């Protein structure tokens, strides 16, 4: 039923891959929100539709790591996203809440005849342990990498740039993108990056 509705809509309108965004608060969130759920669709090679509800933890406590393999400036950096590596398991708990919310949405869609059922995680997976294993096997990037060149004072050994984006210890070199945010914002990074560029333009120019 849902596929038919989408096909009819797509005949006369632009049909984006991402159609809706839901902001939610997990059971351990004490301010604002820490979850994004968004609907994604698209046609597969065989002409069938792919329908999914993506779940994202937008205030992660896990930390990735980027290292340089050599002094060659053309060498590709080594990136470890560090998914779910926070010691207290907070990110996994947030993702579990998000997956359970997505499953409730999918179940309602099924009951209303919009979809036939869920494929992954399987509807037979009901225990917390089963869902945690599935999350660990399916987790990936949300396409908003940031915070690899942290802004902070020179006394902070982990800081790369000062409050105006100038690289510590290097003259006339600045960084102006989402990499210098000390903490990733609970939002898409494009508009904050544009705001940052407008703010820093006068300093760099």
pLDDT at 161 over 90: yes
Q: In terms of pTM, does the model score above 0.85?
A: no
CA pair distance 99, 177, nearest whole angstrom = 31
pLDDT in tens, 114-148: 888 888 998 888 898 999 999 999 999 888 888 88
Residues in CB range of 70: below 8 A, 6 or more apart: none
Residues 35 and 101: beta-carbon distance below 8 Å: yes
Q: What is the pLDDT of residue 16?
A: 66
Catalytic residues: 144
pLDDT in tens, 55-77: 999 999 998 888 999 999 999 99
- 3-state DSSP percent of the chain in helix, strand and coil, to 5: 30, 20, 50
pLDDT in tens, 9-31: 777 777 667 678 899 999 999 98
């Amino acid at each position: 039923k849902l596929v038919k509705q989408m096909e009819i809509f797509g005949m006369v309108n632009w049909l984006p891959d991402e159609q809706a965004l839901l902001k939610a608060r997990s059971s351990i969130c004490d301010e604002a929100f820490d979850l994004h759920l968004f609907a994604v669709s698209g046609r597969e090679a065989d002409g069938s539709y792919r329908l999914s509800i993506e779940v994202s933890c937008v205030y992660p406590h896990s930390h990735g790591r980027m290292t340089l393999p050599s002094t060659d400036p053309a060498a590709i950096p080594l990136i470890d996203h560090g998914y779910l590596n926070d010691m207290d398991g907070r990110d996994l708990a947030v993702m579990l809440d998000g997956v359970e919310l997505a499953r409730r949405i999918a179940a309602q869609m099924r009951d209303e005849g919009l979809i036939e059922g869920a494929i992954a995680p399987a509807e037979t997976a009901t225990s917390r342990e089963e869902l945690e294993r599935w999350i660990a096997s399916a987790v990936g990037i949300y396409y908003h990498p940031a915070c690899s060149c942290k802004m902070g004072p020179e006394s902070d050994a982990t800081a790369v740039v000062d409050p105006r984006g100038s690289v510590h210890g290097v003259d006339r070199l600045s960084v102006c993108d989402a990499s210098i945010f000390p903490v990733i914002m609970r939002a898409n990074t494009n508009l904050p990056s544009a705001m940052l560029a407008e703010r820093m333009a006068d300093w760099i120019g």
